[in-house]
Amino acid sequence: MPTKTIAILTSGGDAPGMNAAIRAIVRSAITKGITPLGIKHGYSGLLNYDIWEMTIRTVSDIIERGGTILYTARTPKFFNEDDIQKAAENCRKSKIDGIIIIGGDGSIRGADCLAQHGIKCVCLPGTIDNDIACSERSIGFDTAINTATSMIDKIRDTAQSHERCSVVEVMGRKSGNIAVKTGIAVGATAILIPEYKFNFEKDILERINFTQKMGKKHFIIIVAEGLNIVDEIMEKITKTTGIDSRATILGHVQRGGSPTAFDRVMASEMGCYAVELLSHGISNKVVAVKNNKLFAIGISDALKAKKSFDFRLYERALEISI
Ligand code: ADP
């Protein structure tokens, strides 16, 4: 049966570049003679029938905007079997031949539930955390590390003037990916991540003392959100070194803002690829990136994939921050 209608939803935490993906899906679908439908507020919209037809012009002027025009939601109800059945039933009633879900790990799990009820799903990795095991990159990560970098550059100016230590928490939930990339980009003296069990003396004090001996007068310490210790570390540094320290939590600025060209291009390519898969009758896949190339992996394999962490990059960061 040819694919006549494709629906799109964004779910979980928003990420800059989701709009670029939505735009690509809508336009690529229309070009192929497929009707695109937008589902608002993630899986909630599927339960509440918040579904509308999208046109070429409903996605005008959104490629440069952060957030998602379809809104996003965390829908605890979706864990319930009755609701999954209802969502699948609503898909059938709306004559949806396939759904493209843009979101993180949780959203992919939701798609897996729908797929098990016969709904054809394709997922795009959309999260600033870059913590989706099957893909080297997720939509929004590049923008988030650029935002964090430019914010910490500003913090550095004042840390430098006052010869202070700035301890900065960056996002990433249980993943240290944002912390490591941002840490390198801002020349952090130490980077604390959930993937590595740090020792305060060795990984912070010794590094501050060593770089101080080399003439360094101000310090940036990056702490990943998942550790939840930014204030504690700031207080310990002040107490043990006497260096005036400040703690900053960057927070949601990292989730918003205009997507970088990298995220816009990748999201656009992923959107077109997802439509191509569904139009060829291929479904229940996650679109992922390996060596800068897109590929499709089965949802259940994607969920089974083991998360790896680039410790080489972490070592490099420490090697040059002296
Ligand atoms: P993310 O997609 O960014 O990881 P969440 O973990 O909040 O964000 O998941 C987004 C939504 O996906 C949830 O609100 C829920 O509707 C659905 N979801 C998450 N985990 C599951 C699961 N194990 N089974 C079914 N649905 C899930």
Q: Quick check: is 129 catalytic?
A: yes
Indicate the helix (H) or strand (E) that contains 273: helix 261-279
Q: Is 46 exposed, middle or buried (0-12, 13-18, 19+ CB in 10 A)?
A: buried
* CB neighbour list of residue 260: distance below 8 Å, 6 or more residues apart: 16, 142, 143, 146
Domain of 184, CATH number, reads 3.40.50.460
Output the pLDDT for position 40.
97
The answer on 280 and 134 residing in a single domain is yes
Instruction: Find tokens 């779910």 and name the residue.
Output: 11
AA letter at 91: C
Output the pLDDT for position 299.
98
Compute the distance from residue 317 Cα to the ligand 1 centre, in Å. Answer: 33
Among 268, 216, 282, which Cα is nearest to 243's?
Answer: 216
Q: Please, where are the H alpha helices in 72-200?
A: 81-93, 105-116, 141-162, 177-186
Nearest CA to ligand 1 atom 19: 106
Domain of 107, CATH number, reads 3.40.50.450
In a domain, residue 311? The reply is: no
pLDDT, tens digit, 9 for 90 and up, residues 179-195: 999 999 999 999 999 99
In a domain, residue 309? The reply is: no
In a domain, residue 113? The reply is: yes
Nearest CA to ligand 1 atom 16: 75
Candidate of 18, 40, 79, 108 to mutate for ligand 1, largest count of ligand atoms within 8 Å of Cβ: 79
The answer on 59 and 152 residing in a single domain is no
The answer on 272 and 248 residing in a single domain is no
Per-residue CA distances from 214 to 104, 189, 236 (Å) = 43, 12, 22
Among 225, 228, 103, 248, which Cα is nearest to 171's?
Answer: 225
Judged by DSSP in three states, 35 sits in: strand
Strand 121-125, strand 285-290: pairing: parallel
The answer on 136 and 12 residing in a single domain is yes
In a domain, residue 244? The reply is: yes
pLDDT, tens digit, 9 for 90 and up, residues 272-300: 999 999 999 999 999 999 999 999 999 99
pLDDT, tens digit, 9 for 90 and up, residues 82-123: 999 999 999 999 999 999 999 999 999 999 999 999 999 999
Output the pLDDT for position 68.
98
For residues 196 and 187, give the distance between their C-alpha atoms in angstroms, rounded to a whole number: 19
pLDDT at 7 over 90: yes
The answer on 272 and 132 residing in a single domain is yes
Among 24, 28, 30, 26, which Cα is nearest to 38's?
Answer: 26
The answer on 23 and 131 residing in a single domain is yes
Output the pLDDT for position 192.
98
In a domain, residue 310? The reply is: no
Nearest CA to ligand 1 atom 9: 106
The answer on 57 and 119 residing in a single domain is yes
Compute the distance from residue 99 Cα to the ligand 1 centre, in Å. Answer: 16
In a domain, residue 319? The reply is: no
Give me the catalytic one of 83, 112, 129, 263.
129
For residues 176 and 181, give the distance between their C-alpha atoms in angstroms, rounded to a whole number: 9
Compute the distance from residue 42 Cα to the ligand 1 centre, in Å. Answer: 10
In a domain, residue 117? The reply is: yes
Q: What is the mean pLDDT of the chain?
A: 96
Candidate of 10, 47, 74 to mutate for ligand 1, largest count of ligand atoms within 8 Å of Cβ: 74
pLDDT at 77 over 80: no
Structural domain count, the chain: 2
The answer on 156 and 103 residing in a single domain is no
Output the pLDDT for position 75.
80
The answer on 9 and 75 residing in a single domain is yes
pLDDT, tens digit, 9 for 90 and up, residues 114-130: 999 999 999 999 999 99
Domain boundary among 229, 256, 283: 256
Q: What is the residue range of 250's domain?
A: 144-256
Instruction: Find tokens 């025009």 and name the residue.
Output: 69
Stretch 188-213: mean pLDDT: 96
Output the pLDDT for position 5.
98
pLDDT at 322 over 90: no
Domain boundary among 222, 256, 290: 256
The answer on 120 and 13 residing in a single domain is yes
Residues with CB under 6 A from ligand 1: 11-13, 43, 74-75, 78-79, 103-107, 109-110, 113, 127
The answer on 269 and 136 residing in a single domain is yes
AA letter at 4: K
Output the pLDDT for position 177.
97
The answer on 83 and 149 residing in a single domain is no
Domain boundary among 216, 234, 256: 256
Nearest CA to ligand 1 atom 12: 107
Compute the distance from residue 264 Cα to the ligand 1 centre, in Å. Answer: 24
Compute the distance from residue 105 Cα to the ligand 1 centre, in Å. Answer: 7
In a domain, residue 86? The reply is: yes
